[in-house]
């Protein structure tokens, strides 16, 4: 920990280091307010956790994807999306994912390991540096992995981003496939973050086939966790629903979804399924996405259609699988991007 490394220094050094690393997004070697020896010691003691091995750009420069290599050679992907002068970072919480959702490239590739909090935070720092002078407005835990299966690192990251980087917790969105007990813990530990639950089906028979975790935490259990979230936080949940042609885009699906969304006072975010190598059924065509939205709205649901970003560089939702088997990305000389925590 940085605090330990600075134990013998005057108290103002910690403030200087925090300001330099977290607000100015510098590396220890760049902290010229510090004496040379201390700078070198910090740089050596806190080497970067991420090495950028590839970058790809899409959407006329508004979407950037990085492939980061971790110390043990595992790779993860991070995406930055610009909306006007605000940038949203989409970060990975695990290398791979053990949840096995059939329609998701990360799930298709399997699990490698959890990320440490420092590896999560450094993704945000990389995106914030890239964003400057624009603001990093939002961070979404919607990259590779299931953040609530890596609970401690996720909460440590949320705490670091709010207390050190000064981000508002409301601008941090944790997306989960429905790890019900962890949703209930999160409601206590970080009640001001935004919660998104990836639902995709509102009956157990269908959800079992799309989201294997549903066999452990079926809809009734997930719904109970959503009620607990609402009671504890008084904040509106989002339900994520990737529309799959002929699978979960029927009128009956809209009716089932509307019922659970109303009971949970949830906002519904629709997106057409993005293509992945291991799942043959395509996303719902645009006209029927809009019709599904209108059906939900007619049933009294608060609903929006999410725009897809980064599809041509496999950076869109569910397409992150990191290099092997992925589409070729433009490879640049490795570049270090990191901040110690």
The footprint of ligand SF4 on this chain (CB under 6 A) covers a number of residues equal to 11
Instruction: Return the residue of 165, 273, 322, 338 that touches ligand SAH, per CB under 6 A.
Output: 273
Q: State which of residues 175, 194, 230, 238 lies at the interface with ligand SAH (CB under 6 A).
A: 175
Which residues are catalytic, by number? Answer: 77, 317
In which element (H, E) is residue 144 found?
none
* C-beta neighbour count of 50 within 10 angstroms: 27
Q: Which does 295 bind (CB under 5 to 8 A by kind): ligand SF4, ligand SAH, none?
A: none
String of contacts with ligand SF4 for each residue 58-97, x by CB under 6 A: ---------------------------------------x
Q: Residue 320's closest CA among 310, 331, 330, 305?
A: 310
Contact segment (CB under 6 A) with ligand SF4 among 101-109, 224-232, 249-257, 275-283 equals 101-109
For residue 133, whether the previous peptide bond is cis, meaning omega lies within 30 degrees of 0, is yes
Token representation of residue 284: 């719902």
User: Which phi and psi angles does 58 have, rounded to 5°?
Assistant: -145, 180
Q: Is 173 in the site for ligand SAH (CB under 6 A)?
A: no
Angle at 141 between CA 4 and CA 45, to 5 degrees: 20
Residue 18's SS3 state is helix
Q: Is 115 in the site for ligand SF4 (CB under 6 A)?
A: no
Q: List the x/- string, 73-102, binding to ligand SAH by CB under 6 A.
A: ------------------------------
| CB environment 258-293: b (16+ within 10 A), e (fewer) | bebbeebebebbbbbbbbbeebeeebbeeebbeebb
Among 63, 75, 106, 154, which residue sits at the site for ligand SF4 (rule: CB under 6 A)? 106
- The mark string for 216-235 relative to ligand SAH (x by CB under 6 A, - otherwise) is --------------------
- Write the CB contacts of 98 (distance below 8 Å, at least 6 apart in sequence): 110, 111, 146, 149
Cα 198 from Cα 216, distance rounded (Å): 15
Does 261 bind ligand SAH (CB under 6 A)? Our answer is: no
Asked whether position 146 contacts ligand SF4 by CB under 6 A, the answer is yes
| Number of residues this chain uses to bind ligand SAH (CB under 6 A) | 16
Stretch that binds ligand SF4, among 4-12, 18-26, 98-106, 297-305 (CB under 6 A): 98-106
Min CB(48)–ligand SF4 separation in Å: 25
DSSP state for residue 133 in the 8-state scheme: T
DSSP string, 63-90: EEEEEEE-TTS-EEEEEEEEETTEEEEE
List of residues contacting ligand SAH (CB under 6 A): 103-104, 142, 146, 175-177, 198, 240, 242, 271, 273-274, 276, 317-318
């Amino acid at each position: 920990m940085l605090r330990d490394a600075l134990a013998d220094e005057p108290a103002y050094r910690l403030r200087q280091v925090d300001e330099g690393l977290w607000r100015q997004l510098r590396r220890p070697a760049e902290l010229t307010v510090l004496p040379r020896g201390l700078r070198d010691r910090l740089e050596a003691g806190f080497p970067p956790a991420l090495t950028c091995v590839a970058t790809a750009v899409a959407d006329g420069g508004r979407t950037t994807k990085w492939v980061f290599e971790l110390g043990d050679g595992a790779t993860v992907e991070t995406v930055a999306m610009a909306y006007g002068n605000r940038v949203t970072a989409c970060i990975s919480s695990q290398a791979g994912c053990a949840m096995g959702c059939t329609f998701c490239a990360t799930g298709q590739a399997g699990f490698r390991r959890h990320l440490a909090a420092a590896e999560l935070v450094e993704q945000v720092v990389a995106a914030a540096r890239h964003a400057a002078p624009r603001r990093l407005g939002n961070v979404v835990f919607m990259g590779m992995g299931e953040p609530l299966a890596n609970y401690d690192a996720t909460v440590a990251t949320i705490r670091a981003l709010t207390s050190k980087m000064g981000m508002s917790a409301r601008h941090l969105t944790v997306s989960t496939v429905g790890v019900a007990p962890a949703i209930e813990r999160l409601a206590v530990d970080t009640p001001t973050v935004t919660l998104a639950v990836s639902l995709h089906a509102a009956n157990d028979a269908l959800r079992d086939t799309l989201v294997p975790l549903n066999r452990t935490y079926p809809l009734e259990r997930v719904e109970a966790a959503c009620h607990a979230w609402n009671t504890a936080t008084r904040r509106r949940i989002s339900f994520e629903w990737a529309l799959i042609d002929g699978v979960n885009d029927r009128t009956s699906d809209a009716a089932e979804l509307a019922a659970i969304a109303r009971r949970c006072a949830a906002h519904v975010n629709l997106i057409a399924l993005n293509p992945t190598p291991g799942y043959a059924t395509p996303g719902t065509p645009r006209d029927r996405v809009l019709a599904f939205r209108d059906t939900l709205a007619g049933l009294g649901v608060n609903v929006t259609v999410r725009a897809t970003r980064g599809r041509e560089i496999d950076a869109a939702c569910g397409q992150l699988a990191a290099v092997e088997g992925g589409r070729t990305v433009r490879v640049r000389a490795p570049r270090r991007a990191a901040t110690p925590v």
